[in-house]
Structure 1
């Protein structure tokens, strides 16, 4: 009995330390990378938006477990020379509130960001989404066809795949798993682990030396962000299976950008299929580029957005 009491006391002390470290690390992450834009209220939920530049409206939607800092690293400043650029934190990530505890669907996220864009006076923006954000952009185009001028998916997830979801997401998407695992990750996993995943995502292209400092890996390690991202990833395949049969309904000018060496979201499964599903869509394949064209091929991505703007009569 005494041994059991000692074990329980040790476990209790360990868990108290874990929660203290998690709180400390979250506070440090938010202090080093605070919200730099506007905090909008949309249907009772906070949406974080950064706005820069003047001209036709362009909305940028980041990928999995990202935040506005991804799109503001290179792409948004390049576009701001000729456009008014609006960069959102997707629901549950960065400084935007989650919509629900189950992981907002790509259509729910698209609706939330559309309403936020309208609050900022962008009734028909060019909608640009990278990776998971590409799926949200596609959902925007399908669900709200009159609320955008053009569509630009960048390495976007668009069509069903047959690989298994990683065990990490299965575990952290589960309420019990998240309650146990997420605090341990927040408390004890160093930011360098996130930076190592960046290297893999950029491959075969080198990750820019100052990208991680700009991005703020600690924001992705917060417990709520881990939970929201896991639920979104867990649900994504089924949502895309439901959405893909409706791509033929998209009628706005569509410029698709994808790297030939993308091993995260494969060119053949996704964009080479997508270009045949959307009427008059155009695919730009970037030779030797991986999953992050918005950082390693900025001129080519800007050119695609310029073409979309011209086709939409905005330039």
Structure 2
């Protein structure tokens, strides 16, 4: 969700952000001016040294020196933000990793995989979980490091590794032959799950996806932020006020040309999205997206399952022709629907076509179930005019 597009204005914005980040990190590394200019006499007082007189008696206070990265106020706030919001779903334990899932409804299974920078709750806020749960068993999964799922550092969380984790989660939930819906970065995990052949899938619904490597300024910046030390320092500087400003800019970008929906503004957990864990996950995923796409693209022509591809023709994050149209040409029997005037978050303004794509792949030919009418419009907050 957060990666910027390939337009020149976006590249300039990313370069400016990188330059500002470099200045901040350089300034943070310098000792404070007051410490540099401390006079010897003052320094002696600070150190507790006296020029004359008997030394103090008694047992000196000792202690084990603290090691590791110091906890700044911003770091502590970020960690608290990660855990402060109550998880709306249930956890599935996979090798000591507690994976957060939102499970609703009954029937044949539909699995939802979110994009970069978001989480499983995104599908609840847009209304897709509620609408699909009237006739399907819906399982939305927080990918590693997003929402309420941790991201262990001992593992490199490539799209293939994340697909293997999703497979284990579905196994634990006794899910058989699911339809997998992926949005943005989540499409890479969906395609890796299909290509790996770990389980039989009913089909794929791919929304605003990224399928082929390309030159992107955000990938370069993310590689820098994903480096140990630099990333931690940058995230420590992200106080709540700065986090809200960065998030607001990112939201406007990914929803463009649509406005950010009121319900999204009211309910999306920004404190988690801008917390230390999810920021690290976002930068790591963004830095590896070209590698992931490059490794998967050779498998596309060999896919032997129904695939529905949906995208907006006004997407400011991914190029429609270079990504969705090209994929449609490589997967035999796939369908492509380009939604006019819609941006990257098509599961909001384009929730109707997304829902119909799910129904088309879930039902026998010509017998797709009729989607029920919803009393509350998507993007609106119940109780608000």
TM-score (normalizing by structure 1): 0.90
Asked if structure 2 preserves the Cα contact closer than 8 Å seen for 1:22 and 1:187, the reply is: no
Between stretches 215-224 and 81-90, larger displacement belongs to: 215-224
Q: State yes or no: 1:287 paired with 2:340.
A: yes
- Residue by residue, what CA displacement relative to the aligned partner does 1:51-95 show, whole Å, maximum 9, x if unpaired? 011111000000002111111112111111111100000011111
Aligned-residue offset at 1:167:
5.2
Asked if structure 1 preserves the Cα contact closer than 8 Å seen for 2:254 and 2:317, the reply is: yes
What is the root-mean-square deviation of aligned Cα atoms in Å?
2.5
Between stretches 139-148 and 239-248, larger displacement belongs to: 139-148
Q: State yes or no: 1:104 paired with 2:166.
A: no
Aligned to 2:202: 149
Between stretches 160-169 and 274-283, larger displacement belongs to: 160-169
Aligned to 1:12: none
Query: What SS class does the counterpart of residue 109 from structure 1 fall into?
Result: helix
> Which has the greater radius of gyration?
2
Asked if structure 2 preserves the Cα contact closer than 8 Å seen for 1:160 and 1:240, the reply is: yes
In the TM superposition, what are the counterparts of 1:1-315 in structure 2 within 5 Å? 3-4=35-36, 19-28=72-81, 30-31=83-84, 33-73=85-125, 74-101=127-154, 103-144=156-197, 146-166=199-219, 168-186=221-239, 189-310=242-363
- Residue by residue, what CA displacement relative to the aligned partner does 1:249-273 show, whole Å, maximum 9, x if unpaired? 2111111111111120111111101
Asked if structure 2 preserves the Cα contact closer than 8 Å seen for 1:110 and 1:136, the reply is: yes
- Residue by residue, what CA displacement relative to the aligned partner does 1:182-222 show, whole Å, maximum 9, x if unpaired? 11114652424302210110001111012033221111111
Q: 2:231, 2:189 → 1: CA distance?
A: 24
Aligned-residue offset at 1:25:
4.6
Structure 2, unpaired ranges of 5+:
1-32, 47-68, 370-385
TM-score (normalizing by structure 2): 0.74
The structure with the largest helix share of the pair is 1
The structure-2 alpha-carbon separation of the partners of 1:81 and 1:60, relative to structure 1 and needing over 3 Å to count, comes to: same
Asked if structure 2 preserves the Cα contact closer than 8 Å seen for 1:103 and 1:229, the reply is: no
Aligned-residue offset at 1:310:
2.2
Query: What SS class does the counterpart of residue 115 from structure 1 fall into?
Result: helix
Q: 1:251, 1:96 → 2: CA distance?
A: 31
Q: 2:294, 2:149 → 1: CA distance?
A: 26
Aligned-residue offset at 1:102:
6.1
Query: What SS class does the counterpart of residue 257 from structure 1 fall into?
Result: strand
Asked if structure 2 preserves the Cα contact closer than 8 Å seen for 1:93 and 1:225, the reply is: yes
Query: What SS class does the counterpart of residue 206 from structure 2 fall into?
Result: strand
Q: 1:169, 1:52 → 2: CA distance?
A: 34
Asked if structure 2 preserves the Cα contact closer than 8 Å seen for 1:255 and 1:307, the reply is: no
Query: What SS class does the counterpart of residue 175 from structure 1 fall into?
Result: coil
Q: 1:263, 1:3 → 2: CA distance?
A: 47
Q: 2:73, 2:35 → 1: CA distance?
A: 26
Structure 1, unpaired ranges of 5+:
10-14
Between stretches 21-30 and 57-66, larger displacement belongs to: 21-30
The number of aligned residues is 307
Q: 2:34, 2:282 → 1: CA distance?
A: 42
- Residue by residue, what CA displacement relative to the aligned partner does 1:159-195 show, whole Å, maximum 9, x if unpaired? 1212333554133211121121111114652424302
Q: 2:239, 2:98 → 1: CA distance?
A: 23
The structure-2 alpha-carbon separation of the partners of 1:177 and 1:153, relative to structure 1 and needing over 3 Å to count, comes to: same
